Amino acid sequence: MGNRTFFTGKMPVPRLKTSISQLPHVEEKPPLTSASRPTFPFTLLGFWLRRILPVWGLIALMIFLVQIAVCGIVCDNKGIKALLNFLDLLPSFIKTALGGEALQVGNTSALIAIGYQHPLVLLLFMLFAVGVPTGLLTGEVEKGTMELILSRSITKTQVYVCAGALTVAGMFALVLVMFFGTFTATRIYHFEEPVSLHPFFRAAINGGLLASAAGAIALLAAAGFRRRSTAVGITTAYLVVNYFVAVIAEWWPRMRFLKPATLFQYVNGPKIFREPAWPVGDMCVLAAILIGAAIAGGVIWHRRDLPL
């Protein structure tokens, strides 16, 4: 019927003029083996180390000078009496925070240990413990540089390990500088009675675990929060509340039940200087907090969807 064309439901299939042998060869990717996995990013570790080294050096210098200054005051009897008279004028909880009843004329070691518990020294430790991990993790995400870091053959876990290693190593290096300041001061100044350095070394190592635990908590906050200001604020508030609860609990009996929940409960200065043994129990608690917070932060960071 005329020149009508009916649709049969079948479309014409064009014939390829290119044979299979002329198609481009696509190489299959080899399976992921231990040899092809990303190696540890020592370049990133070195870059971050060079970036935080000036800040670490400034904090270490200030901590070192505080130890020298405290020993310079303690070696002079007139300076000791003036210091104790000044502490008597302050509220009792301040003297408790610096050593309590152990601060007496003749107790040279306890007076030198003021430099280990001085609020300025604690503030410097907190600045490094909070500022470094939050800056290396959340700070890099906010600046957009984390996208460049992860675009290379680096995993998120390796990035977290680099930040954690620099934090913990930096904290222990700071406490060793603090101990070296005491060692140097005891060689510069003359004391009426010999000063044993073993209690100061035990206090430094115990303090290093405390500082590293605080750094691990900051790592956990940096892994969990998207803004650096939030991570810094929450970690700082946690550490400040811990410190004030530990200090106030010494002279307010109703607050003593909260002291075991603070980090500062596990750095008992008078016990370290009174007993020759290492505070193994306290150190194990701090090590457990350090490891637990670091692992929890690593799991959160690994599962976190970064805004790349």
89-128 pLDDT tens trace? 666 656 555 555 545 545 678 788 888 888 889 999 999 9
φ and ψ at residue 150, rounded to 5 degrees: -80, -10
> Distance between CA atoms of 116 and 109, rounded to whole angstroms?
11
Whether residue 87 is predicted with pLDDT greater than 70 in this model: the reply is no
Contact in structure between 273 and 102 (CB atoms under 8 Å): yes
**Given the structure tokens 């990133």, which residue do they identify?**
44
φ and ψ at residue 257, rounded to 5 degrees: -70, -20
Average pLDDT, the chain: 82
Work out the percent of the chain whose per-residue pLDDT is above 70.
77
So what's the pLDDT on residue 279?
A: 92
Whether residue 30 is predicted with pLDDT greater than 60 in this model: the reply is no
> Distance between CA atoms of 96 and 248, rounded to whole angstroms?
9
Contact in structure between 117 and 97 (CB atoms under 8 Å): yes
> Distance between CA atoms of 186 and 182, rounded to whole angstroms?
6
Average pLDDT, integer, range 167-191: 93
> Distance between CA atoms of 55 and 50, rounded to whole angstroms?
10
Contact in structure between 269 and 99 (CB atoms under 8 Å): yes
So what's the pLDDT on residue 66?
A: 93
